[in-house]
Amino acid sequence: MGRPRVLSGVQPTGALHIGNWIGAISSWVPLQESHDNFLCVVDLHAITVPHDPKQLSENTLSTAAIYLACGIDPKLSSIFIQSQIKAHSELCWLLNCVTPLNWLERMIQFKEKAVKQADNVSVGLLDYPVLMAADILLYDADLVPVGEDQKQHLELARNIAQQRINSRFGKGQKPLLKVPKGLIRKEGARVMSLTDGQSKMSKSDPNEGSRINLLDPPELINKKIKRAKTDTHIGLEFGNIDRPEADNLLTIYSVLSGMGRDSVAKECSEMGWGTFKPLLAEAAIEALKPIQKRYKDLINDKTELSIVLEQGRANAEVVAEKTLNRVRSALGLIERN
Ligand code: AQP
């Protein structure tokens, strides 16, 4: 038996922020020691909302470089571009045909994003979670590390595998598709916006000041944190629902400084915002420094990146094709000679 598998990804919809890193990418790194990691840049997801083609290509390579810069080791993990493996689209179609429409219509992310696009909502946006199910199920993933916002999509993937494929088309002891488990970290699973402690930090938020991007230079980090929304209380605390900004900024500080909640709660219990903000800025700048340095090298000369992506594609394709053929055959589709 091989090692258990991990599947995860980020959509190249813009500059990656500390929410993407804390909520997802940072969990991938320790899993490399014990699991086979399949980490994709999910570019087919990125085109479910209006996009600029040139920007998409740049973001796709930049996202892959960020995986490496954050500590993903291509000897231990396969990094690849989703659209380069056709099995993702084909399995998505097969799963589409067994997924009830009303399962998709109740997805929170669809409802939130659809509102923003008024009468320009694509079928792709509605279908996003089925494509995500295909991404996960193709690799027989045991674990899917994601941020809190993807929990509902993950549950959908589990239901499609279990209720719509395995129970209808599976025969014998071994399930046709592996039903994956989510891995959602306890702290930092939902990093909130710097300008509104009640909204998720997001790449697509039109307000640049709402997030700290992984590639932001120190002076910009300082500026964004200086302008971050606060409240009028002295003494900072976790977990007060009337103080979402305090909870969010302390959580970010606790994770980025590596100090943990208890020490941070103690250190900041009598602190004012004027003292806290420079500490937070310093912690963010220090945490991002090594990532930014490694990223610069990878993006200035893309030779290493191309080799990693080609190797990752080759590894992933073998696994994906095997699963796809298993499902095709169970559904009664005739193989080519
Ligand atoms: N604010 C967040 N806090 C913790 N985790 C987060 N993730 C996203 N935002 C936060 C996690 O990052 C991974 C990649 O996310 P994605 O790019 O696939 O899509 P998303 O969840 O829709 O992220 P964004 O940044 O909000 O992108 P846009 O604005 O394009 O929709 C996922 O594991 C996600 O949970």
Per-residue pLDDT of the chain (337 residues; tens, 9 = 90+): 689 999 999 999 999 999 999 999 999 999 999 999 999 999 999 999 999 999 999 999 999 999 999 999 999 999 999 999 999 999 999 999 999 999 999 999 999 999 988 888 999 999 999 999 999 999 999 999 999 999 999 999 999 999 999 999 998 778 999 999 999 988 889 999 999 999 999 998 999 999 999 999 999 999 999 999 999 998 999 999 999 999 999 999 999 999 999 999 999 999 999 999 999 999 999 999 999 999 999 999 999 999 999 999 999 999 999 999 999 999 999 987 7
Q: Are strands 181-183 and 143-145 parallel, antiparallel or unpaired?
A: parallel
* Closest C-alpha to ligand 1, atom 14: 10
Reduced 3-state DSSP string for the chain: CCCCEEEEEECCCCCCEHHHHHHHHHHHHHHCCCCEEEEEECHHHHCCCCCCHHHHHHHHHHHHHHHHHCCCCCCCEEEEEHHHCCHHHHHHHHHHCCCCHHHHHCCHHHHHHHHHCCCCCCHHHHHHHHHHHHHHHHCCCCEEECCHHHHHHHHHHHHHHHHHHHHHHCCCCCCCCCCCEEECCCCCCCCECCCCCCCECCCCCCCHHHCCECCCCHHHHHHHHHHCCCCCCCCCCCCCCCCHHHHHHHHHHHHHHCCCHHHHHHHHCCCCHHHHHHHHHHHHHHHHHHHHHHHHHHHHCCHHHHHHHHHHHHHHHHHHHHHHHHHHHHCCCCCCC
Mutate to test the pocket of ligand 1, among 10, 67, 115 (most ligand atoms within 8 A of CB): 10
203 as an active site residue: the answer is yes
Q: Closest ligand 1 atom, CA of 204?
A: 29
186 as an active site residue: the answer is no
d(CA 240, ligand 1 centre) in Å: 24
Q: Which of 113, 151, 223, 302 is catalytic?
A: 113
Are 61 and 131 contacting, i.e. CB atoms less than 8 angstroms apart? no
